[in-house]
Amino acid sequence: MQRSLEQRMAIKFCLKLEKTAAETIPMLKKAFGVECLSDRQIFRWHKAFAEGREDVNDDNRAGRPSTSSSDDNVKCVRDLLNTDRRLSVRLISETLDITKTIVHEIVSESLGMRKVCAKLVPKVQTDDKKSEARMSSQVLEND
């Protein structure tokens, strides 16, 4: 995202230097290498700036923004899971009246959990849990 913003600024700068889009492309490819915008995107942005566009940021996209994974919903899902880790995504979805896909996204992405033996647990183990697991495996190997 940041790289494409820089490139748009560079395209706008080249336009102010009265460079054509065709002259701008090799300069951007030399400056940004493999992360360079496609030729088609460079032509589009060059044309937009030539027609008077000033803003280098993306336009707002059409469509409804996703509000289901709000902080309130994340907190509600976290509270439910803290009371009972064996809850399924379907049950959480029905309880909170949120779609199953959003609940799954909250559980896996926002809370960083996954299902292990019908129980939702954090994806990353703490250092204490890692050392306990190492010690347990060493004890089992020695027996």
pLDDT tens per residue, range 1-47: 577 889 999 999 999 999 999 999 999 999 999 889 999 999 999 99
pLDDT value of residue 16:
93
Q: With respect to residue 131, please indicate whether it lies within any of the assigned structural domains.
A: no
* pLDDT surpasses 70 at 119: no
- At residue 143, the pLDDT reads 66
Is 136 a member of any domain? no
Q: Of 78 and 125, which is predicted with more confidence?
A: 78
Same structural domain, 120 and 76? yes
Three-state SS annotation for the chain: CHHHHHHHHHHHHHHHCCCCHHHHHHHHHHHHHHHCCCHHHHHHHHHHHHCCCCCCCCCCCCCCCCCCCCHHHHHHHHHHHHHCCCCCHHHHHHHHCCCHHHHHHHHHHHCCEEEECCEEEECCCCHHHHHHHHHHHHHHHHC
Alpha carbon distance 108, 78 (integer Å): 11
pLDDT at 28: 93
Range of the domain at 29: 2-50
What is the model's pLDDT at position 4? 85
Q: Give the CATH number for residue 15.
A: 1.10.10
Statement: the pTM of the whole predicted model exceeds 0.85: no
Instruction: Report how many domains make up the chain.
Output: 2
Q: What average pLDDT does this structure show over 107-124?
A: 73
Q: Please check the confidence at residue 133 and state whether its pLDDT lies above 60.
A: yes
Q: Say if residue 81 is in the same domain as residue 111.
A: yes
